Structure 1
Amino acid sequence: MADLTCDVAVIGAGTAGLAAERNARKHGASTLLIDPDFAGTTCATVGCMPSKLLIAAARAAHRARNTDLFGVRTGEVTVDGPAVLARLRQERDRFASGVRDSFDDLPEGVAVKARARFSGRNSLTLDDGRTVQAGAVVIATGSSPMVPEPYAALGDLALTNDSIFELDDLPESLAVIGGGVIGLELAQAMARLGVAVSLFDMGDRLAGVRCNKVHDALKGAMSQEMALHLGVEPEPSEEDGRVRIDWDGRHQSYDRVLVATGRPPNVSGLDLSATGLALDDKGMPDVAADTLQCGDSPIFMVGDANAARPVLHEASDEGGIAGRNAVAYPAVVPSRRKVSFTITYTEPPLVMIGQDPDDSAKIGEADYTNQGRATVDGENVGLARLYAAAPDGRLIGADLFCPGADHMGHLLTWAMEAGQTASDLLDRPFYHPTLEEGLKGALRDICGAVPLRVPGDQDPGLPPGV
C-alpha cells in the first residue's frame, strides 16, 4: 500500500475529530481522518444519548409512582427492565447510525481505517504498515473508562458506561464507584428504575459541585434516592458470584458494580514521546486553551483527548479551532473561548456556568423549595446561585440545582456571553407562573448589592418565591 501525505491529519473520528477535519478541509487543506473503527461518537454510542434514554425511562417511572400528590391514582408501577434496555439500545443505535452515515459524505480517500502512532513531529505510522507525512496533526482520540485493578479482576461483574447499556436486564442491586457526573446520573436513574443503589466515593463532593450550598441541596436530594457513602475507600471482591464491597468496617453484596472513576484520555498508544514534546507525569503535553496547540509544534489536541472541557459542544468548538489553526500553522490565531457551561442530568438538573466567584463578586440566591411553579408541579427542591462582578453587576457565573436548570442555564449562559448585567435581565419580561420567574429574587439580590436600579419594584406583592 502506498504511503500517504496531506496538509492536516486528524487522529480520531469522534465529535472533535470530525469538526477538525471539516474545518481544515473548509479552509483549503488536504486532509486525512484516521480512525480504527469509525464506530460513531462517544456521545451517540456510550455517552450522552444512551444515558439520557435511561434517565428518560427513570423519569417516567418516578412520575408514575408520585401521582398521588395530585390526587391521581395509578396503582402499582412495575418496570420491565428488558423492555427499558431494548428501547435504549434501539434508539441509541439509531443515533449512532446517523453519525456513521455521515462518514459516507466524506470525500473519497479522506477516511483511513487504521490505528496511528507518531514517528516524528508531523509523521505517523499506521498499523497497516503505511506512513503518513502531514503538515500538521490534530489528536482527537477521545477517552475511555478507567477501571482500577481491584475492579478489573471482577470480570463481567464490573460495568462501565461503555458496557452498562448492553445489559439484558436491570440488576436488583448496584454499587456505583465514583460520584462524578457519570456515576451520579446513572446511579439516580437506576434507583428510580427500582434498583437498590449504593454510591461510594473517596471524596466528599458529588459531581464536582463548587458551591457548598448547592452541594448540600444536591446531596440531600440524592440521599433520599440511594445510599451515599462519601469519604470512604471501598474495597471490592467477588463473593458467591456477586460483588462484595467493604468499607469502614462494613460490607454489603451487590449484583453488579458500576465503575465510574473517570475517563482518562486515549493517548497511551500514540507514542507521543516520538514528537519531542515535553510531557507531564501522565504522558500529556501542555495544550494552549485558546489555540489547542501543543507547545510551538504542528500538533493540536482537542476534545476529551486533552481532558480540559470534556463535553460535546466544547469538543466541537475545539475541533473547529484546531482544524483552522492546523491549516494556518505556524501562524496560529488565538480564539476567544465561550463561557463554560456544563449540565449534569440529575433530576432536578445540576448546572455550572462561568466563573467560580471570588471575594469581590456579588451573589444572588433563589430558593426553589418554596417557588411558585416548582410547588405547583411538585418539584420544589434546590436552589440557584448567580454571581456578578462589581461594580456594574455583570453576570459572570452561576450554580443551579433546581427544576428547569438545564433550560434556565442556557438563558444565563447566553446572557453572560452577551455581557449582560443582573439589571438587564430584570428589565426583561417574566411570565407568571414560571420557573424562570424564580430567578428574580437572585437578580434583585445582586442589584441591591451593587447597588443599581432594581426594575420590577412596581410589581404587586406576591407570596415568597412567586
Structure 2
Amino acid sequence: MRERVCDVAVIGAGSAGLAAYRAAKKAGADCVLIERGPGGTTCARVGCMPSKLLIAAADVAQRAREGEPLGVRIGSVTVDGPAVLARLRRERDRFVGAVLDAADDFPAADRLAGEARFVDARTLAIGGEVHLRFGAAVIATGSSPAVPPPLRGLGDRLLTTDTLFEIPDLPESLAVLGLGAVGVELAQAMARLGVKVTAFDTGDTIAGLSEPDLVRKAVDIFSDAFTLHLGARVEGAERTAAGVRLAWTGADGRAASTEAACILAAAGRPPNLSGLGLDAAGLALDDRGMPDFDHRSLVCRGAPILIAGDANAWRPVLHEASRQGGIAGRNAAALAAGQEPERPGPWPSLAMVFTHPQAAAIGEPYDPDATGRIVGTMDFGDQGRARTERLNQGGICLWAAPDGRLLGGEMLGPGVEHLAQIVSNALCDNLTVQALVDRPVYHPTVEEGLYTALSEIIQKIDYVHGD
C-alpha cells in the first residue's frame, strides 16, 4: 500500500468537489482530488442540462400545436423521438466535455482515481492501493437516484434520471413515480412529445409548491398534460409482455392498476455515503448514516471532515453545491493549517421547476401557522403580457413581515425563472417590499405581475398602520 500525505483530500469531482479543490488550492493547501465514476457533474451529465434539452424540444412541439388560437395554423406536429434524443445526448456530451476539460487542467499529481474509504479520522484508503493521510477532508460524493422497493427487479423497464436520457426512442407510454421538480418536469416534457404519461406521488403537492391556491392551480394545469394521481402509493410492480404493470392505492384508499411501457423513478436522489466508512472516521451519524454538520461552516461533528453539495442533502441544487464547495475547500485548508473555519450566512433558499408554466419557491417557506405575515397575491389569468403570449396561467404569492421586510414566496407562471431571481436578490440585499416597489419596472412585462403582489402587501401594511 503506497503512503501519501496532503493537507486537504476532496472526495468527489462533481460541482461541489471541483469548487472545493479550487478553493483549497487557492488558499495554499496541498490538495488531492479523488475521482470515481464517469465525472462531468450530475448537472451536466444526468440532471439540469439534459432535462432542459428534453424540455426545449417539448416546448417547440407544444407551441406549434397551440398556434391556432392565435390565428396561426401550422398543421400536424410530428415528433421524431430518436432525433430528439440524439440531439439531447450530443449537446449533453458537449456540456460534460467542458467540465472534463476543465478538470484535465488540474495537475496529474493532485488527482487520484478509485473508491475512497475512511480508515480513521485522518486517513483514507483509495482503491486498495493508496493510504492518504490528510489534515482535513471534504466529502462531495453527490447523490444517486432512489429506487423504491416496489420497483426493484423490473430490469430495463425501470428508468431513472441516470438512464432515461440513454434510451434510443421515446416510449409509447410512461409511468412517473414522484412529482417533485424532476418528476413533474420530465412528465410534462414527455407528454408534450406525445408520450402517454401517468404520474403518481404520495403527497398532496406538486412541483415544489406548498401554498394551497398555487397547488390547486398547478394540479389543474398539469392534469391537462398527463394523468395525475396525488396521494397515491405504489404497492407493487411487475413486468408484462408489453412493459410494466403497477398496482397502487389512491388517496381514497381504493386499489387500482396502471400499465405502461416503462416507469421512471423520480422519487429523489439520496446522498452517496455508503461505503465511505464514516463510522471509522469518528463522525456523529444519525440513524440514516448522515453526519451531523454545521450548516454554515459545513464541518462535521467528530473529525476535521466537511461535507458539501448533494452529499449533505441540505440544498441539492447546483448554485448551492458550488458555493458550499468553495466554503468547504477554504475551511478544509484552514483546519489543516490549525485555523478557525469561516461561518458565512446562508443564501436565501431558491428552488425552481422548469415546467410550463414554471414554478419557484424563494426564501422562507410557506407556513399556514406563521403569525404576523402580510401576504400579497396576483393571478396571471388577467396579467397583460401573459395574456398577449397566451401564457396567462398561474399566480404569485409573496409574504412579508409586519415591518415590510420581504420574507419569501412561491410562484407559478410565465417567466418565473426571472421573477424568482428578482425576489432572491431582494432577500440577499435585505430589501423591504417598499424598496423593491420603488425600483423601475418596464411595461408590458410579466414583472408587472410581481409588483402587483408587492403592492398588495404595501396596501395591507398601510391599512394596519392606519395610513
Same fold (TM over 0.5): yes
Aligned partner (choices 382, 392, 412) of residue 394 of structure 2: 382
Whole-Å separation in 2 of the counterparts to 1:7 and 1:440: 50
Deviations 1:2-57 (A, max 9, x none): 32211000000000000001001100100000012352100000000000000000
Whole-Å separation in 1 of the counterparts to 2:189 and 2:242: 24
Aligned partner (choices 263, 275, 282) of residue 281 of structure 2: 275
In structure 2, the partner of 1:463 is: none
Whole-Å separation in 2 of the counterparts to 1:51 and 1:442: 31
The reply on whether 1:401 has 2:412 as its aligned counterpart is yes
In structure 1, the partner of 2:135 is: 135
1:153-232 mapped onto 2 (5 Å cutoff): 153-232=153-232
The reply on whether 1:251 has 2:251 as its aligned counterpart is no
Deviation at 1:201, TM superposition (A): 1.4
In structure 1, the partner of 2:251 is: none
In structure 1, the partner of 2:324 is: 318
1:88-127 mapped onto 2 (5 Å cutoff): 88-127=88-127
Whole-Å separation in 1 of the counterparts to 2:166 and 2:156: 11
Which of 347-356 and 1-10 deviates more?
A: 1-10
The reply on whether 1:76 has 2:76 as its aligned counterpart is yes
Deviations 1:183-217 (A, max 9, x none): 11100000010100000112222133221121111
Percent identity between matched residues is 49
Whole-Å separation in 1 of the counterparts to 2:365 and 2:202: 23
Indicate if the aligned counterparts of 2:34 and 2:116 stay in contact, CA closer than 8 A.
Answer: yes
The reply on whether 1:239 has 2:240 as its aligned counterpart is yes
TM-score between both structures, scaled by the size of structure 2: 0.95
Indicate if the aligned counterparts of 2:208 and 2:353 stay in contact, CA closer than 8 A.
Answer: no
- Give, as a single letter, the amino acid of the residue that structure 1 aligns with 2:387: T
Whole-Å separation in 2 of the counterparts to 1:224 and 1:301: 41
Aligned partner (choices 359, 381, 385) of residue 350 of structure 1: 359
The reply on whether 1:19 has 2:19 as its aligned counterpart is yes
Indicate if the aligned counterparts of 1:185 and 1:345 stay in contact, CA closer than 8 A.
Answer: yes
The reply on whether 1:441 has 2:455 as its aligned counterpart is no
Deviation at 1:300, TM superposition (A): 0.3
The reply on whether 1:46 has 2:37 as its aligned counterpart is no
Whole-Å separation in 2 of the counterparts to 1:193 and 1:447: 43
Whole-Å separation in 1 of the counterparts to 2:27 and 2:107: 15
Deviation at 1:452, TM superposition (A): 8.4
The count of corresponding residues between Structure 1 and Structure 2 is 453
Whole-Å separation in 2 of the counterparts to 1:52 and 1:452: 44
Aligned partner (choices 425, 430, 439) of residue 436 of structure 2: 425
Aligned partner (choices 340, 348, 353) of residue 339 of structure 1: 348
Whole-Å separation in 2 of the counterparts to 1:308 and 1:153: 30
Deviation at 1:113, TM superposition (A): 1.1
What SS does the aligned partner of 2:233 have?
coil
Whole-Å separation in 2 of the counterparts to 1:269 and 1:451: 58
What SS does the aligned partner of 1:375 have?
helix
In structure 2, the partner of 1:303 is: 309
Do the aligned partners of residues 90 and 5 (structure 1) sit closer, same or farther apart at CA in structure 2, a change above 3 Å counting? same
Deviation at 1:251, TM superposition (A): 1.8
What SS does the aligned partner of 1:69 have?
helix
Which of 203-212 and 101-110 deviates more?
A: 203-212
Whole-Å separation in 2 of the counterparts to 1:252 and 1:216: 24
The structure 1 segments of at least 4 consecutive aligned residues displaced by more than 3 Å after TM superposition are none
Which of 20-29 and 120-129 deviates more?
A: 120-129
What SS does the aligned partner of 2:147 have?
coil
What SS does the aligned partner of 2:2 have?
coil
Whole-Å separation in 2 of the counterparts to 1:270 and 1:37: 15
Do the aligned partners of residues 286 and 78 (structure 1) sit closer, same or farther apart at CA in structure 2, a change above 3 Å counting? same
Whole-Å separation in 2 of the counterparts to 1:129 and 1:182: 38
Whole-Å separation in 2 of the counterparts to 1:378 and 1:157: 38
Deviation at 1:237, TM superposition (A): 1.2
Indicate if the aligned counterparts of 1:38 and 1:113 stay in contact, CA closer than 8 A.
Answer: no
What SS does the aligned partner of 2:396 have?
strand
Indicate if the aligned counterparts of 1:244 and 1:253 stay in contact, CA closer than 8 A.
Answer: yes
Deviation at 1:283, TM superposition (A): 0.6
Which of 178-187 and 248-257 deviates more?
A: 248-257
Indicate if the aligned counterparts of 2:188 and 2:225 stay in contact, CA closer than 8 A.
Answer: yes
Whole-Å separation in 2 of the counterparts to 1:306 and 1:282: 12
Whole-Å separation in 2 of the counterparts to 1:301 and 1:207: 27
- Give, as a single letter, the amino acid of the residue that structure 2 aligns with 1:399: E
Unaligned runs of 5+ in 2: 249-253
In structure 2, the partner of 1:460 is: none
- Give, as a single letter, the amino acid of the residue that structure 2 aligns with 1:26: K
Whole-Å separation in 2 of the counterparts to 1:132 and 1:307: 26
TM-score between both structures, scaled by the size of structure 1: 0.95
Deviations 1:297-337 (A, max 9, x none): 20000000000000000000100111111111151121111
Do the aligned partners of residues 192 and 174 (structure 1) sit closer, same or farther apart at CA in structure 2, a change above 3 Å counting? same
Whole-Å separation in 1 of the counterparts to 2:442 and 2:70: 24
Deviation at 1:152, TM superposition (A): 2.0
Whole-Å separation in 1 of the counterparts to 2:288 and 2:129: 28
Whole-Å separation in 1 of the counterparts to 2:13 and 2:38: 6
What's the RMSD between the two structures over aligned residues?
1.5
- Give, as a single letter, the amino acid of the residue that structure 2 aligns with 1:100: L
Deviation at 1:244, TM superposition (A): 0.5
- Give, as a single letter, the amino acid of the residue that structure 2 aligns with 1:445: E
- Give, as a single letter, the amino acid of the residue that structure 1 aligns with 2:443: H
